[in-house]
């Protein structure tokens, strides 16, 4: 199953609302997770089952979608949110990741 994220690069300012899209090549129900990746750090799970917020993750992060189209929304960007974001499908092995969306400061 291939995952395509858009956009690949996103420039935004602190306080902005941003949305990242992940499209699957076939239906995956809600078996989708989102991760945040910062340089030199392990990925951090943000969202699982498409819309469930992982414990400890700020509520400004939210996820939605089912089937083949999913979104990750950050309601009000904070300085610590500038990172690369990846979606991952968990519907069937081999699990696969999207190519990533790099969120940069404008």
Partner 1 sequence: QLQLQESGPGLVKPSETLSLTCTVSGGSISSRTDYWGWIRHPPGKGLEWIASIYYTGSAYYNPSLKSRVTISIDTSNNQFSLTVTSLTAADTAVYYCARENYDNSGPLDYWGQGTLVTVSS
Taking contact as CB under 8 A, which single stretch among the options 9-17, 26-34, 62-70, 73-81 is the one that binds partner 1? 26-34
CA–CA separation, 40 and 19 (whole Å): 24
Do residues 22 and 47 lie in contact, with contact meaning Cβ atoms separated by under 8 Å? no
Taking contact as CB under 8 A, which single stretch among the options 16-24, 58-66, 72-80, 85-93 is the one that binds partner 1? 85-93
How many other C-beta atoms lie within 10 A of the C-beta of residue 9?
10
Among 18, 24, 98, 103, interactor with partner 1 by CB under 8 A: 98
Written in H, E and C, the secondary structure of 63-74 is: EEEECCEEEEEE
Is 45 one of the binding residues for partner 1 (CB under 8 A)?
A: yes
Among 35, 61, 63, 81, interactor with partner 1 by CB under 8 A: 35
Is 88 one of the binding residues for partner 1 (CB under 8 A)?
A: yes
């Amino acid at each position: 199953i291939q995952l395509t994220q858009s956009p690949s690069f996103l420039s935004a300012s602190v306080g902005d609302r941003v949305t990242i899209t992940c499209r699957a090549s076939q239906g995956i129900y809600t078996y989708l997770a989102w991760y945040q990746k910062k340089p030199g750090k392990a990925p951090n799970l943000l969202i699982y089952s498409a819309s469930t917020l992982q414990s400890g993750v700020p509520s400004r992060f939210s996820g939605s979608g089912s089937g083949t189209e999913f979104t990750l929304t950050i309601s009000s960007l904070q300085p610590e949110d500038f990172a690369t974001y990846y979606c991952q499908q968990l519907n069937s092995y081999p699990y696969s990741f999207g190519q990533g969306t790099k969120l940069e400061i404008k």
